[in-house]
Amino acid sequence: MATIKDIARECGVSANTVSSVLNNKPGEVSAQTRERVLAAVRRLGYRPNAAARRMVGKRMNTIGIADRFIENTQPNAYKAQILEPLTHAARTLRWDVLYYAGHVTGGGFTAFLDGRSDGLISFTGWIDPIEVNAILASSTPVVFIGDTESDQAEHRASIIDVDNEAGAYLGVSHLTGLGHRRIGMLQGPGISGNRDRVAGFRRAMREAGVADNDAYPYPSTDWTLSGYYTAIEVLRLPRSERPTALFCFNDALALSVLHAAAELGISVPDELSVVGFDDLIPSALSSPPLTTVRQPLADIGRRAVEILVAIMDGDLPRDYREIVAPDLIVRSSTAAPAL
């Protein structure tokens, strides 16, 4: 690869003249020299070395997306729906995007806190709290998507998240409004947001005058296999005992419930109402189409970039947070309970 010295030699100028041309320093280089340098740059296919630029304190102009690949083969619609608008926003603001997927061992993506990117956007729910703290300790500007369990993040990082409590309240109120009384909640794993969604669930139940029955928030460790098995277990209860409606931590879980219900010959929404959370694209096409609490995922992705850039530019405080409002999308997986 050609270096700045090669260009300089080629043009009979010094390296810093080349640098001035490349960095568009105003009025420092004559138009003639400038042209000569640019021609040589094209001719030799010169490309400034990113590592060297970073060394002298320049930005990489790169945003890192910190994530951890999950060992499943299901494309994750939730992330995809955030990632696309996020990347688009970065492009618009002229920032490059680097998607980091580190080793599960060896500190995961925290290995990337080494100057390769200027700031980070992190999918909190997928990040180990230890790694969250490592990010914070590195003092890399960061925006978390989704609330974090880390107390430290509370004051030292920016967070964008949907109003989880309000969203759950919306979804469960829809069910109580339909006349449901026995409502179960399939909880998510211990990732951010679950606690608040459980709180919203309880508030809606309370306001509807339903006894705050501890039995119904079923625990669940994830939304692939164990979610499905939990659903099967719940749905195998005799009809007089089983909930007439299930509020699910997310759409993936709700889709598992639909699947489980179909297998057990339980008709949705006639015998069981199901409400999800997220509004993934596939949820509109399920059988039946899913009633769900929509997160404005595209807005979240876009805003994450805008906030991070603003923080790096010093236009927003490092602990800036933004909570976006959810919507209820009523489709065909919910109905009044059968008598």
Partner DNA sequence: CTGAAAGCGCTTACAG
Contact between 281 and a copy of itself per CB under 8 A: yes
Element (H, E) at 247: strand 245-248
Contact 277, 302 (CB under 8 A): no
Contact between 219 and a copy of itself per CB under 8 A: no
**Total number of residues binding a copy of itself (CB under 8 A)?**
50
List the beta bridge partners of residue 252: none
Comparing CB distances to a copy of itself, the nearer of 38 and 77 is 77
Contact between 283 and a copy of itself per CB under 8 A: no
Q: Are strands 142-145 and 273-278 parallel, antiparallel or unpaired?
A: unpaired
Comparing CB distances to a copy of itself, the nearer of 137 and 338 is 137
Distance CA 186, CA 201 (A): 11
Contact between 38 and DNA per CB under 7 A: no
Comparing CB distances to a copy of itself, the nearer of 92 and 267 is 92
CB atoms within 10 A of CB 72: 10
CA-based end-to-end distance of the chain: 76
* Residue from 49, 92, 267, 287 in contact with DNA (CB under 7 A): 49
Q: How far is the CB of 333 from a copy of itself (least distance, A)?
A: 17
* Residue from 35, 39, 43, 58 in contact with DNA (CB under 7 A): 58
Distance CA 158, CA 1 (A): 39
Contact between 52 and DNA per CB under 7 A: yes
Distance CA 170, CA 179 (A): 15
Q: Which amino acid is at 65?
A: I
* Residue from 14, 30, 35, 52 in contact with a copy of itself (CB under 8 A): 52
Residue 279, token pair as written in the block:
């509004």
Contact between 114 and a copy of itself per CB under 8 A: yes
| CA–CA distances in Å: residue 146 to residues 50, 154, 162, 230, 304 | 31, 12, 7, 25, 11
Residues that bind a copy of itself (CB under 8 A): 1, 45, 47-52, 54-55, 65, 69, 71-77, 80-81, 83-85, 87-88, 91, 94, 96-104, 106, 111-116, 137-139, 281-282, 298
What residue ranges bind DNA (CB under 7 A)?
1, 3-5, 12-20, 22-23, 27-30, 32-33, 46-49, 52-53, 55-58
